Chain A
Amino acid sequence: MSQCKVLVVDDERDFLESLVRRLQRRGLDARGVDTGMEALKLVAEDPPEVVVLDVKMPDMDGIATLKAIKDRDPKVEVILLTGHASVGSGVEGVELGAFDYLIKPVKLDDLIERIRDARERGQLMRRAFS
């Protein structure tokens, strides 16, 4: 099976770099950007299968980025990742179409499992619409 194409979006540079590195080491085709705007650009140019998206970011936050991604391409699956657990924002994210809402710190194995699940859904959706 081909490598899973993942985009990680997080304004915390250290976290971003280490997560991308760890995902790559586990065989995923991962890359990272640190703003919502850059994420949107990439989604338009070279769409990933799954976006792992930090909720709290300056300027364009995770929820706004999620909305924009889903507007542009509903088949891109988004997993929200947050350091600020809140029932309200979790429910809002999932209602807006996020595949899941995970809370930091998250175990790498759990994250990868959710990425795989999200990818599977995306593939089935693509098949359905093609």
Chain B
Amino acid sequence: MLGLGNLLKSLFSGRLGAQDQAALAELRARLARRFLSYRNLLKANSRALTIMAELQGAQQSPELVAMARLRSAATEMAVSVLAMIQELERLAPKRYPALMERFNALKQELDQLVAGERPLPQGPLVVELGALCVGSDELAGPKMATLAQLGNRLGLKVPDGFVITTAAYNSFVEHNGLRAEINRLLQIKGVTKVDELFSACSALQRLFAQGELPADLDREMAAACERLAQRHGPELRLAVRSSALGEDVGAASFAGQFRTELNVAPAALGEAYREVIASAYGPQALSYYHHYGLRDQDLAMAVGCLVMLPAQAGGVVYSASPLDPADGRVRISACWGLPKGVVDGSVEAEEILVDAEGGALERRTGRQDRFYQCDPSSGVLSAALPSELRDTSPLSNDLALKLASQAKKVEAAFGGPQDLEWALSEAGRLVYLQCRPLHRQASAVAQPLVDGLPDPIISGGLTAAPGAAAGVVQWVHTGHDALIFQAGQVLVVERPLPRWAPLLRWATALVAGQGGVAGHLATVAREFGVPALLGLGPDLERLQPGELVTVDADRRAVYPGRVEGLLRARPAVSPPQTPLRRTLEQLIALTVPLNLLDPASSQFRVENCRTLHDLTRFCHEQAVHEIFSLDGQAFPVAGARQLYCDAPMQWRLIDVGGGFTEEVSGKYVRLEQIASRPWLALWQGMLAVSWDGPPVTGSGLASVIVQSTMRPELESGAGWEEGNYFLVGCDFMNLQSRLGAHFATVEVLAGPDPEENFVLFTFQGGGADMARKQARLHLMSEPLEGIGFTVTIRADAARARRDHLSDAEALDSVRALGYLMIHTRQLDMAMADAGMVAYFAGKLRAELAGLVRRAENSLDP
């Protein structure tokens, strides 16, 4: 190979032999690889920064991101940063050995954070309920652990039975290899829209339904059933109930969100067990995790198998009012038959208010015409209530008082109001089936008078959750109706079934014909802060689909239209700190903060890279240095040429093939020596419409963009040498412009093949005043979309892109971009004044249209 010195001599003397030609070709190939490395590094950089912007956006938004997204975001960032390190290594082999060390340390922390396997609970697969001691929540799930305490500690009657533990759940998940598959499905499907949620759930639940019971678990379940049958006879039937970990997190009760299988024959227990653990990934439960920010790995489900009680009556008892903290009266909901009628909201139960101390009773009779009973073979069925029972109360005064005093006893023992499910055995004994803390939400204290209220469409019913909200009526009868439910609608249902709970995430208010305060859906509405008015009866039919209404649950009325005077802000109900929020914040802390601010500072070193952002910053800085080193000794062809147009300008260009009309030696390149068509188009766009601000000449594009971001500390220059670097080819152009935390890219390919052509523009401004930056980005995006760009905005980063276009179209787009970039400053000033925004939006559109026309004229004479 020819020595570099000789090659240089030949180049400058203008005499190139065949050998020199070959050497020059090889040199060009090496340069091409360097530029490719540089471009890949920049792309990886922009991918990493886009995700960081997304995470910051997520932090500011009250909406939660799913754990699956945090996991994939962490992975994408780590992979992008590694790609940058590798490309830098290609540009400057072995110069930064400490980079991989820093990266590996951060990678390990990230991995631990998002892989986040919870330590598996250790213990037996099956435990008898009577053998559960205090503190067995982790193994038996809080629901069964609490029920065991009612019996073992407080001496109340609870059913005999056993618990299939969380250790068993994990053994099932492991045995069937479900963990990775669960994560994959949650990642791929997303759960932010109704239809996505339902589709993810059905796929997840199929996994559980098709799973196989590990042999030892199967054996232990059979043995436990055998022991129960010895105590209760061969006709034993079971109630199979969920008891999931995470049910106790925050204020979440998961009311009715998991499956309960009633009256199950021991032979069918395996199937019922799979159904119940599958409900861990039902739509109700998943939207609950989402609301409360639980991570999917927080979930493990124990299952209680209790002797089934053929109850004559049952229901729910609250040891205090769920709506009024000053009201300490016990509230009993009672129905004939199994308590299922009350909890699923399908019967209008009798409500009994009991003053537990004074013994005063207040009854509000229900309207029950059907009741649930055990099917003689298995399962439960709903039957017509015998007429002689319709006008009698399912619960005598004595029993109501006894129930109330026991509820108060539990409240005292557990240190707060409780929500208990009870049943009356055929022998007339009170038995408790479930116990959990009562979620209370205070009603608006006083109803302000509102003048000129329209006549309500309906009034009456029961306030199940306080508040008032407006929205369009959407009736939901079937699962299909649920799929088309839109955010911001009023959910109207005949029966408030727990299966509609996922919709409460999107509903403004809930209205139902049946049901009462103690139903599961009512509980969920209170937890989500959705105003709910239940038990409206047949009048509900008056609500027309598509009609805009205002539901005031406190006034117990639905009004036509949007009645501003009634609307109250929905109370904030999300607990401020959830496991998912904490994970998001830790992830941001490891990735987003930028500590390497000033490349001129002695602190700008690998050892000081504390986040992924620092690593990207460091790699970017060093890569720019490697590529654009102005001495140009190592690569004479590569040396950046400074643009000379009347005067030297802070624009540096590098020819990557056909970008210049001729070989340019020396420090400067003149305008007429530039052949790159995309570059010339950008230049035309910038100069096309005279600019009202300071002259562009002599001031770098970066500074124009940066000054417009209103960050005074950056305007004075943060140590980075102002400048803009262009890679130019005949049909190709790449602009990188960076100052401090601000970063802009334009990349264009405008060649003969429309399939390959593209125009890409990205802009990101870090730091303060997000609102104004977003307003500017949106204003910029409108005209870009008008000329065919697809624009996505995430936090303070915008990305505009056009693909598959002719070279002429691509060059037009670049002209428009040039124009927009220069006028960014005006846009920003306009942001300060709402009236100016409209003016500039119009001006931009008009001038842009004129620009494209002029360009057409000049191209087609």
Contacts and interface: CB of A to CB of B under 8 A. Distances in A.
Interface of A: 1, 26-27, 56, 83-88, 90-91, 93-95, 100-101, 103-105, 109, 116-117, 120-121, 124-125, 127-128
B33 A124 contact: yes
Contact of A121 (B40, B107, B115): B40
Given A85-B72, A94-B83, A121-B40, A127 B29 contact: yes
Nearest to B37: A121
Contacts of B32: 124, 127
Contacts of B72: 85, 103
Contacts of B180: 56, 84
A27 B33 contact: no
Contacts of A91: 78-79, 82, 107
Contact of A87 (B30, B78, B753): B78
A111 to B, nearest CB: 13
B770 interface: no
B393 to A, nearest CB: 56
A85 B86 contact: no
B111 interface: yes
B79 A84 contact: no
Nearest to B114: A87
B36 interface: yes
A94 B44 CA distance: 13
Contacts of A117: 39-40, 43
Interface string B792-816: 0000000000010000000000000
Given A86-B115, A104-B188, A128-B30, 6 more contacts: A88-B111, A90-B75, A90-B79, A95-B82, A104-B184, A117-B39
B187 interface: yes
Interface string B179-201: 01001100110000000000000
Interface string B32-61: 110010011001000000000000000000
B112 to A, nearest CB: 9
Interface in B216-248: none
A50 B598 CA distance: 39
A105 B75 contact: no
A90 B76 CA distance: 8
B74 interface: yes
Given A1-B753, A103-B75, A124-B36, A87 B115 contact: yes
B71 interface: yes
B755 interface: yes
B110 interface: yes
11 contacts: A83-B188, A86-B75, A87-B74, A101-B79, A103-B76, A109-B803, A117-B43, A121-B36, A124-B32, A125-B33, A127-B29
B187 A103 contact: yes
Nearest to A121: B36
B785 interface: no
Interface of B: 29-30, 32-33, 36, 39-40, 43, 68, 71-72, 74-76, 78-79, 82-83, 86, 107, 110-111, 114-115, 180, 183-184, 187-188, 753, 755-756, 803
A94 B188 contact: no
B755 A85 contact: no
Contacts of A90: 75-76, 78-79
A127 B29 CA distance: 7
A83 B39 CA distance: 27
B115 A88 contact: yes
A105 B185 CA distance: 10
Given A85-B71, A90-B75, A101-B75, A120 B36 contact: yes
B752 to A, nearest CB: 9
B82 A84 contact: no
Nearest to B70: A85
Contacts of B30: 128
- Most chain A CB neighbours (cut-off 10 Å) among B30, B39, B74, B187: B187
B189 to A, nearest CB: 9
B843 to A, nearest CB: 32
A83 B243 CA distance: 30
B184 A83 contact: yes
A124 B34 CA distance: 10
A83 B72 CA distance: 9
Contact of A94 (B33, B79, B115, B755): B79
Contact of B755 (A27, A86, A109): A27
For the complex of A and B, 4 pairs with smallest distance between CB atoms: A85-B72, A83-B184, A85-B75, A87-B111
A94 B187 contact: no
Contacts of B107: 87-88, 91
Contacts of B78: 87, 90-91
A128 B187 contact: no
Contacts of B68: 85
Q: Which of A85, A91, A104, A116 has the most CB of B within 10 A?
A: A85
Contacts of B36: 120-121, 124
Nearest to B73: A85
A87 B82 contact: no
A117 B183 CA distance: 29
Contacts of B71: 85-86
Of A26, A90, A104, A109, chain B has the most CB atoms within 10 Å of the CB of: A90
Nearest to A130: B29
Nearest to B755: A27
Contacts of A116: 756
Contacts of B74: 85, 87
B759 to A, nearest CB: 13
Contacts of B40: 117, 121
B29 A83 contact: no
Contacts of B115: 86-88
B670 to A, nearest CB: 31
A94 B33 CA distance: 19
B76 A128 contact: no
Contacts of A88: 107, 111, 115
Nearest to B184: A83
Nearest to B82: A94
A94 B756 contact: no
A85 B187 contact: yes
A4 B29 CA distance: 21
Contacts of B79: 90-91, 93-94, 100-101
Nearest to B106: A87
A124 B180 CA distance: 38
B115 to A, nearest CB: 7
B183 A94 contact: no
Interface centre among B40, B68, B79 (most CB of A within 10 A): B79
A1 B180 CA distance: 41
A128 to B, nearest CB: 6
A12 B29 CA distance: 40
A1 B756 CA distance: 9
Contacts of A103: 72, 75-76, 187
B188 A105 contact: yes
A121 B34 CA distance: 10
Contacts of B29: 124, 127-128
A86 B75 CA distance: 6
Contact of B187 (A1, A26, A104, A120): A104
A116 B76 CA distance: 19
Contacts of B110: 87
Given A91-B79, A91-B107, A128 B33 contact: yes
A87 B803 CA distance: 31
A80 to B, nearest CB: 9
Contacts of A121: 36, 40
A31 to B, nearest CB: 19
A88 B104 CA distance: 10
B86 A94 contact: yes
Nearest to B30: A128
Contacts of A86: 71, 75, 111, 115
Contacts of A104: 184, 187-188
A51 B110 CA distance: 28
B514 to A, nearest CB: 41
Nearest to A116: B756
Nearest to B749: A116
